[in-house]
Amino acid sequence: MVSENKSRMLDQAIELLKKYEVILAADLFKMKSQMLQDLRKELGKELTLKCIKNNILRKAMEKMGLEGSEEFINRAQGSNIYAFSNENPFKLAMMLKKRKVRVFARPGDIALEDIVIPAGNTGLAPGPFISKLATLGVRTRIEGGTIWVNFDTKVASAGDKISQDLSEILARLGIKAGEMGLEAKAAYFNGRIITRDELLLDVEEYRDLLRKASEMAFQVALLASYPTPQTLPALISMAVQKAERLALRAEYIDRDSAGKLIAIAYSHALTLQNLVGRRVEQSLGSAET
């Protein structure tokens, strides 16, 4: 019976490998069955989720002649669910990441970010809980029969391991510092193994880099006077300004420059008039003396 089940699973894995180009291994740790069912319904058009034993998938990949199967399975050690798809592997990883939900952290979990207990009413009655908060450096007071936190207090930094006491305190305060969802471990695409760190892109960082690159390219194109649909308006404006400055320096009179040349001449005349007036006043003053 065991042999028949393995044989059936192997055949299913081979069929999936024939149908899809991308295999993404995701960690099943802390994943509830209901959430898994919801993901299957929501993402059914983009991917197929299948629980397959690592060794069986490795054999299926070997039978299909897929290179690097051993390395890929080594990257996916542990309890996994595999996502089969023809979508971009980076898009798949981001789709799974976006569908994680916040849950109460368990002892041993790693803090995803700085954990802060906010100031205000906890809604909890006075008791031993006050001393537990005090051990974390949280200053409190009793007001209206409940415990109040005096100041926002950071009780853990991103990357810290959450202790048993902290887990209990956060749960009682209703602070969800953990996440539940599928965590991408590695992906296989056209013989290439993409690691977890490569899969999880910082979209904002890449957006900023692209924005800066676009701005720099625009400036270089302007300096090189390279015409494109984006640079033409600015290049034409710059050319007009340069032509106007050149016409004024050369005192070239046309419909556009005449008014400005007259204004410049008038300004020079006023300046000259002031200078001559001062000299005359100085001469008269010297003569009187």
* Beta-bridge mates of residue 153: 117
Query: What integer is the mean pLDDT of 202-220?
Result: 88
For residue 48, CA distances in Å to 10, 80, 86, 281 come to 16, 14, 10, 97
Where is pLDDT greater, at 96 or 280? 96
- Alpha-carbon Rg for the chain, nearest whole angstrom, is 36
One-letter amino acid of 260: K
Where is pLDDT greater, at 227 or 201? 227
> Per the structure block, which two tokens stand in for 154?
């950071």
- Which residue is associated with the tokens 């400005």? 260
Q: Is the pLDDT reported for residue 90 higher than 60?
A: yes
Task: Measure the CA–CA gap between 270 and 144, rounded to whole angstroms.
Answer: 80
Say what the pLDDT of residue 3 is. 78
Helix/strand/coil for 48: strand
CA neighbor of 132 nearest in space, from 155, 152, 109: 155
- Which residue is associated with the tokens 């690592």? 54
Q: What are the start and end residues of each CATH 3.30.70.1730 domain in the chain?
A: 2-100+181-201
For 5-48, the pLDDT digits (tens) are: 888 889 999 999 999 999 999 987 767 788 888 888 888 888 89
Query: What integer is the mean pLDDT of 211-234?
Result: 90
Query: What DSSP assignment string belongs to 14-25?
Result: HHHHHH-SEEEE
Say what the pLDDT of residue 287 is. 62
User: What is the CB neighbour count within 10 angstroms for residue 167?
Assistant: 18
Say what the pLDDT of residue 85 is. 93
Chain centroid to CA 232: 33
Q: What is the homologous superfamily of the domain 2-100+181-201 according to CATH? A: Ribosomal protein L10, N-terminal RNA-binding domain (3.30.70.1730)
Q: What are the start and end residues of each CATH 3.90.105.20 domain in the chain?
A: 115-179
Q: Give the rounded percent of residues in the chain with a pLDDT score beyond 70.
A: 97
Cα dihedral 267, 268, 269, 275 in deg (nearest 10): 110
Say what the pLDDT of residue 288 is. 63
Q: What is the CATH number of domain 115-179?
A: 3.90.105.20
Burial (0-12, 13-18, 19+ Cβ within 10 Å), 178: buried
Where is pLDDT greater, at 285 or 190? 190
Least confident of 100-109, 116-125, 154-163: 100-109
Cβ partners under 8 Å of residue 220, min gap 6: 226
Query: What DSSP assignment string belongs to 121-185?
Result: E--PPSSTHHHHHHHTT--EEEETTEEEE-S-EEEE-TTPBPPHHHHHHHHHHT---EEES-EEE
